[in-house]
């Protein structure tokens, strides 16, 4: 296939990490998607609507240098710059992630006669008032949609007014070739370096530090657990807008000796292998990439029963679950696993088995097939003036 015959795709997202986060979940997805698209058939370009942020450097270092729009969510200059970009790069398909990207991308697609994919990545409690109006206008005309979970699909249909038949569920999964089992010596050395000996127990939480991620509830559960098993610690991987508030709360509660903030780490898939239990205490999730990673390395999982987590996991089989915000139940589930080595082993085995259903290359291949189908249904045509 010649360069002229390749399908040119513009992936437009809201941002890569935000104001206080080194990397957002969607950006981590891009880091492994982009190198894995078949370059003999597709030319895929990545663009952030918000512009350069502290996470963009991570994208550049990973070999995925992005483009930028750089205007506010409702600034019409987004449209004009995006249209120039589409023409310059001879874009065939717009693949959109997020409200602002979805708004201007769909308008540009309509004006330039370009097919558009809306990709839903999470469920929110409500749609902002102005965005409700926009979604009522644009949603019914959206022909192609992808959702990271069935609950996100329902959200897109009900809140974004995307036609039911237009939305396909595609679980992100994780690229298995990026998962490297670490030796027992390596794990022991890292645990010792971070102050945890062989007899200590480590709970891990991975993700952006946001209020809805449930970190504080996990810390409160830890307080209960340590009254019974004192040598339990929590490692927190990630950064974000809630970081200072969480640090202050931990200090106020006198928990600085047992809660360790490790910040953003590029070796997260190695570090999580040091956990005895990985906890997912969030109040809302699409399907977090960190959950796929936990399954792939075979971690024992305790998770809140929300959105995509409730779809991927089966209580008492692949994980122990609790209602989001139920600190007492979370503490009970942690104690069950720590007190019952056989249960921990069973959960680890079940995680590894379940991970086989989420090979990340299936996601990429599904998206590539959609791109090809879209081009059959929407042959190339000249952009509108």
Torsion of CA 205, 209, 215, 219, to 10 degrees: 80
The pLDDT score that the predictor gives to residue 21 is: 58
Same domain, 197 and 343: yes
- The 10s digit of each residue's pLDDT in 195-218 is 999 999 999 999 989 999 999 999
Q: Distance from CA of residue 350 to its chain's centroid?
A: 22
Q: Domain range spanning residue 227?
A: 176-358
Answer whether residue 384 is part of any domain: no
Mark whether 155 and 241 lie in a shared domain: no
Q: Is the model's pLDDT at 385 over the cut of 70? A: no
Q: Are residues 209 and 347 in the same domain?
A: yes
The yes-or-no verdict on residue 328 having pLDDT over 50 is yes
* Res 3: pLDDT: 78
pLDDT above 90 for 308 = no
Measured between alpha carbons, how far is 121 from 284 in angstroms, rounded to an integer? Answer: 11
Q: Could you give the CA distance from residue 42 to residue 383 in angstroms, rounded to a whole number?
A: 19
Q: Compute the distance between CA of residue 332 and CA of residue 338 in angstroms, rounded to an integer.
A: 10
One domain for residues 237 and 255: yes
Q: pLDDT tens across 346-364, in order?
A: 999 999 999 999 999 999 9
Beta bridge partner(s), residue 96: 12, 118
Asked if residue 364 and residue 263 are part of one domain, the reply reads no
Instruction: Say whether both 217 and 239 belong to one domain.
Output: yes
165 lies in some domain: yes
Residue 385 lies in a domain: no
Our CA angle for 223, 297, 226, nearest 5°, is: 10
Residue 383 lies in a domain: no
pLDDT one-digit tens code per residue, 18-47: 655 555 667 788 888 999 999 999 999 999
In this prediction, residues 263-281 reach a mean pLDDT of 95
pLDDT in tens, 315-326: 999 999 999 999
What digits encode the pLDDT tens for the residues 64-116?
Answer: 788 999 998 889 999 999 999 999 999 999 999 989 999 999 999 999 999 99
The CATH number of whichever domain residue 311 belongs to comes to 3.40.50.2000
Which structure tokens are listed for 128?
Answer: 């902002």
């Amino acid at each position: 296939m010649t360069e002229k015959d390749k399908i040119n795709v513009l992936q437009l997202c809201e941002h890569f990490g935000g104001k206080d986060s080194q990397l957002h979940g969607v950006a981590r997805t891009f880091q492994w998607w982009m190198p894995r698209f078949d370059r003999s058939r597709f030319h895929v370009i990545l663009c952030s609507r918000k512009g350069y942020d502290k996470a963009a450097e991570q994208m550049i270092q990973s070999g995925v240098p992005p483009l930028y729009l750089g205007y506010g969510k409702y600034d019409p200059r987004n449209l004009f710059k995006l249209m120039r970009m589409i023409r310059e790069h001879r874009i065939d398909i717009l693949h959109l992630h997020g409200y602002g990207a979805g708004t201007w991308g769909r308008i540009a697609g309509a004006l330039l006669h370009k097919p558009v994919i809306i990709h839903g990545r999470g469920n929110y409690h409500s749609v902002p008032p102005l965005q409700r109006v926009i979604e009522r206008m644009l949603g019914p005309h959206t022909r192609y949609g992808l959702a990271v979970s069935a609950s996100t699909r329902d959200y897109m249909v009900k809140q974004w007014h995307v036609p039911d038949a237009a939305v396909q569920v595609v679980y992100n999964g994780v690229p298995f070739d990026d998962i490297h089992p670490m030796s027992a010596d390596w794990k022991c050395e890292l645990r010792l370096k971070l102050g945890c000996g062989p007899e200590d127990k480590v709970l891990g939480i991975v993700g952006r530090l946001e209020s809805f991620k449930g970190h504080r509830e996990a810390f409160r559960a830890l307080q209960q657990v340590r009254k019974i098993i004192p040598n339990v610690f929590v490692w927190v991987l990630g950064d974000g807008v809630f970081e200072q508030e969480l640090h202050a709360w931990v200090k106020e509660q006198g928990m600085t000796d047992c809660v360790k903030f490790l910040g953003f780490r590029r070796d997260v898939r190695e570090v999580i292998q040091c956990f005895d239990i990985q906890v997912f205490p969030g109040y809302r999730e699409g399907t977090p990439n960190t959950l796929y990673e936990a399954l792939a390395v075979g971690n024992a999982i305790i998770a809140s029963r929300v959105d995509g987590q409730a779809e991927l996991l089966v209580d008492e089989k692949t994980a122990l679950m609790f209602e989001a915000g139920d600190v007492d139940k979370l503490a009970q589930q942690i104690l069950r696993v720590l007190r019952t080595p056989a249960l921990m082993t069973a959960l680890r085995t079940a995680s590894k088995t379940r991970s086989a259903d989420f090979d990340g290359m299936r996601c990429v291949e599904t998206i590539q097939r959609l791109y090809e189908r879209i081009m059959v249904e929407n042959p190339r045509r000249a952009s509108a003036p």
